[in-house]
Homo-oligomer: A and B are copies of this chain.
């Protein structure tokens, strides 16, 4: 075990005590004593020693004028076989792990983060889960970082979720990488038919060995949502950069809006369903959700057409890229239009003739807002009327481009009939289209 990232002074102190990363240690500094598991140091002040406390949080302690001693060596992986919870007074919940930062550790070869944790180690890092739920099963159909997921993975997760819900679990919590978490959330929203239990997607923006780790709080809040009556697919992550509350946002109305902040997942064009505090308090923010009904059977209707493209219209953009995709057998398109839903119309590079040809051939072209917030409106401008009424594009209303993409994959997985696709895309199926815009849902 290396102490890379720690100062020479800390390194020497640890080596002299034969301490390794993972050992339970005690640090004395002045009149204070800190006890916790020694963590590796990946960034930040090398004079700070980082330990994971019993409550799951990491803290950094300035090691100047401090001393350290080992209390207990790290458990070897092979010794670890933590029992799942069997407290039958707690609600039965199953966990699906799929990879991502939330189940990752530092890779000492490269210094970067890799998906390495064994699923049941989550119970070690977040022991409080046992106080909230009775974890019946941990299923790990695969482990990958979310940038590498695709529609086959969405289908696998949907089927596994339905199986676990229909076995009598009150909810399923799914751990997942954050990069494409909102795409998967949208996919499950469409694929889980007749859902009447919470399906809680959760990830981590920081790996568990960092002082600002968000895994514990996100998991604990997810467990509370799992026991709630909010029978929706949603994402549960930090609501602010403080460890005060998480948001649970609808799976079709949420997006990763920041590369690194812990509160990166924001509801778009809708308020979050609920705020969840670490002590279990749940504040319903948006009353428009389905209520729990534990007797309903869930069906995984997880057919996705993969030949769908998501692209962007912008100054100078080339419409012929649509023909490239069509020549490769693509069955549908989502275009991020500018403003109320524009594509270049009267310029040399007009997208109109190409879109008109595609829709005539029965290939749906959906326009979603590049602005993210707001609603496509086919009526305001002459150029919009040309696009929607003449060229046959489908207005995506207030759907996120990512949600529109997932929905079109799903719709085309069920039919190739243009008119049926058009009405599916314009109809609200899983909360992805709201009928009225809410004024304070902007930049929320």
Contacts and interface: CB of A to CB of B under 8 A. Distances in A.
Contacts of A183: 314-315
A381 B205 CA distance: 12
Contact of A315 (B151, B312, B380): B151
A47 interface: no
A340 B207 CA distance: 14
Given A113-B381, A144-B346, A443-B443, A149 B371 contact: no
B316 A145 contact: no
Q: Which of A313, A314, A439 has the most CB of B within 10 A?
A: A314
A321 B318 contact: no
Interface in A313-370: 313-318, 321, 324-325, 328, 336, 338-349, 369-370
A73 to B, nearest CB: 29
A259 B443 contact: no
Interface in A140-197: 144-151, 153-154, 178-180, 183-184
A384 to B, nearest CB: 7
A380 B324 contact: no
A147 B261 contact: no
Interface in A10-36: none
A435 interface: no
A325 to B, nearest CB: 7
A260 B374 contact: yes
Given A260-B374, A377-B260, A443-B443, A148 B316 contact: no
B341 A259 contact: yes
Contact of A147 (B311, B373, B383, B442): B383
A292 interface: no
Contacts of A114: 381-382
B310 A314 contact: yes
Nearest to A187: B315
B324 A317 contact: no
Given A311-B311, A325-B321, A371 B257 contact: yes
A379 interface: yes
Interface residues of A, number: 83
Nearest to A113: B381
A295 interface: no
A297 interface: no
B443 A344 contact: no
Interface string A254-267: 01111111001010
B315 A258 contact: no
Given A312-B310, A315-B180, A150 B443 contact: no
Contacts of A180: 314-315, 338
A258 B373 contact: yes
A264 B374 contact: yes
Contacts of A371: 255-259, 264
24 contacts: A110-B382, A112-B379, A112-B382, A112-B385, A113-B381, A144-B347, A145-B383, A146-B339, A147-B338, A147-B339, A147-B345, A148-B344, A149-B315, A150-B347, A151-B315, A180-B315, A259-B369, A259-B373, A259-B377, A261-B374, A309-B318, A310-B312, A372-B372, A443-B444
Q: Give the top 5 A-B pairs by smallest Cβ distance, nearest first.
A: A259-B374, A147-B342, A179-B339, A179-B338, A443-B443
Given A150-B316, A316-B409, A372-B372, 11 more contacts: A110-B385, A112-B380, A145-B383, A148-B346, A148-B383, A151-B315, A180-B315, A256-B338, A258-B374, A261-B442, A314-B402
